[in-house]
């Protein structure tokens, strides 16, 4: 059984289409990274999955049910983002206590452990926390709830690098102890890359790529060398990005459709072959034009 099953999902706000004809499924017990630029429709998609919003067209199923206004889906799901509304009159200790009553699999030991580790105090108030600390508290709720579907929408906003690292590791360790379906949206793919099973890349509300993260590394390759050599290779593969270097040298990122021997031959011809970092690949795939920002400056 799939945990999430969308087909032709569309959501518009007034004239803007935030999610456009999206179809995909999420299998259980995987960590999926939802990647896209600002305004690509990540949050809207997640809110559709959480059952907060109604689609304009298409269908969405979570645990084989329509998630909208659905108590069963809600009981098995937690949605963590920076706008989590928590009562201003309760301190953090009381909120943890209350949150635990909502979730059947709540892990209070984990919650308290993380709470202490991140230097939070039960007497503090959510609204008085710094942005990073607030995010830390929110992710503690998300982890300790142990929900079969756990959604993190840009959970690390405001956290410093060390806390982000700790969070990702905590997520991975807790995930191994208690496997569940996790959706993690972010635009810092490099940081979360290694802990993901799958990647879902969206651009302008549409699906751009959905594949196991392990295959992403082989999806594209960077070639750098003399213009004519590169041009010959470029004919055989889809070019994702191009950048001129020096006098007659050029760098291209292409889909890796080459055989091992072809790459080997190219290497002997002086072509430098490099991996395309997942982050860069996503940037190239979601770019609006091939040359990137350079095009703006090269026009004159």
Partner 1 sequence: MMSLTETSVLAVAKTQYHYKIKAHAGLFFALIAVQLLAFFFSLNGVGSSGGGSQGMSYTIKYFTGDVIIIFTLIWAFSIGISMANNGFKTDFTFVSNRLSSHLSSLAFLLTAAVIAGVTATLCGLLLRVVMLLSHGGVDTGPAFWIAPPALLSGIFAATLYAALLSIIGYFIGMLTQRHPAFVVLLPGLFFGTLFVEARSTGQARTLNSAIEFFSTEGSHALFALKVVLVSAIVFGCVILFFNRMEVRK
Partner 2 sequence: MLLDTNSLKPIYVQIAEWLEMEILNGNIASDEKIYSQYQLADMFNVNPATAAKGLNILAGEKLLYKKRGLGMFVSCHARAAIRSKRIERNLKQLVLELVAEAKRLDVGRDDLINMLIAAELQVTEEEGSQ
Q: Enumerate binding residues for partner 2 (CB under 8 A).
A: 30-31, 168-169, 172-173, 176, 190, 193-197, 212-214, 217-218, 221, 267-268, 270, 273-275, 277
Work out how close the CB of 254 gets to partner 2 at its nearest, in angstroms, rounded to a whole number: 14
Applying CB under 8 A, does 241 fall inside the site for partner 1?
Answer: no
Work out how close the CB of 215 gets to partner 2 at its nearest, in angstroms, rounded to a whole number: 8
Contacts of 163 (CB under 8 A, 6+ apart): 118, 132, 136, 156
Work out how close the CB of 206 gets to partner 1 at its nearest, in angstroms, rounded to a whole number: 22
* Nearest CB to partner 1, comparing residues 105 and 267: 105
Applying CB under 8 A, does 182 fall inside the site for partner 1?
Answer: no
Applying CB under 8 A, does 289 fall inside the site for partner 1?
Answer: no
Pick what 270 binds: partner 1, partner 2, none; C-beta below 5 to 8 Å, kind-dependent: partner 2
Residue 286: which H helix or E strand, with range?
Answer: helix 278-286
3-state secondary structure 79-115: EECCCCCCCCCCEHHHHHHHHHHHCCCCCHHHHHHHH
- Backbone conformation region of residue 223, classed left if phi is above 0, alpha if psi is from -120 to 50, else beta: beta
Burial of 214 (0-12, 13-18, 19+ CB in 10 A): exposed
- The encoded tokens of residue 236 equal 């055989």
Applying CB under 8 A, does 172 fall inside the site for partner 1?
Answer: no
- The encoded tokens of residue 221 equal 């390759």
CA atoms of 300 and 232, how far apart (whole Å)? 28
Per CB under 8 A, contacts with partner 1 among 28-57 are 28-29, 47, 51-54
List of residues contacting partner 1 (CB under 8 A): 1, 3, 28-29, 47, 51-54, 63, 68-72, 74-76, 78, 83-87, 89-90, 94, 98-99, 101-105, 146, 148, 178-181
């Amino acid at each position: 059984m799939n945990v999430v099953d969308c087909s032709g999902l569309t959501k518009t706000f007034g004239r803007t289409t935030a999610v456009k004809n999206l179809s995909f499924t999420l299998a259980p017990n995987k960590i999926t990274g939802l990647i896209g630029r600002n305004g690509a429709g990540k949050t809207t998609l997640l809110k559709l999955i959480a059952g907060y919003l109604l689609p304009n067209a298409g269908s969405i199923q979570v645990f084989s049910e329509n998630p909208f206004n659905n108590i069963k889906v809600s009981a098995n799901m937690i949605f963590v983002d920076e706008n989590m509304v928590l009562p201003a009159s309760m301190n953090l200790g009381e909120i943890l206590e209350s949150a635990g009553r909502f979730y059947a699999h709540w892990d209070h030991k984990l919650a308290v452990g993380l709470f202490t580790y991140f230097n939070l105090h039960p007497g503090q108030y959510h609204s008085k926390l710094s942005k990073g600390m607030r995010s830390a508290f929110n992710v503690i709720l998300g982890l300790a709830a142990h929900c079969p579907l756990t959604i993190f929408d840009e959970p690390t906003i405001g956290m410093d690098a060390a806390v982000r690292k700790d969070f990702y590791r905590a997520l991975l360790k807790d995930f191994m102890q208690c496997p569940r379906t996790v959706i993690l949206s972010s635009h810092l793919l490099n940081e979360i890359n290694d802990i993901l099973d799958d990647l879902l890349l969206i651009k302008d509300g549409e699906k751009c790529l959905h594949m196991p993260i392990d295959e992403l590394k082989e999806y594209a390759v960077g070639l750098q060398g003399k213009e004519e050599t590169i041009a010959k290779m470029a004919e055989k593969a889809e070019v994702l990005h191009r950048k001129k270097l020096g006098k007659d040298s050029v760098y291209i990122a292409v889909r890796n459709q080459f055989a091992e021997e072809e790459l080997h031959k190219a290497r002997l011809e002086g072509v430098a072959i490099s991996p395309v970092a997942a982050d860069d690949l996503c940037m190239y795939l979601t770019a609006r034009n091939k040359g990137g920002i350079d095009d703006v400056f090269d026009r004159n």
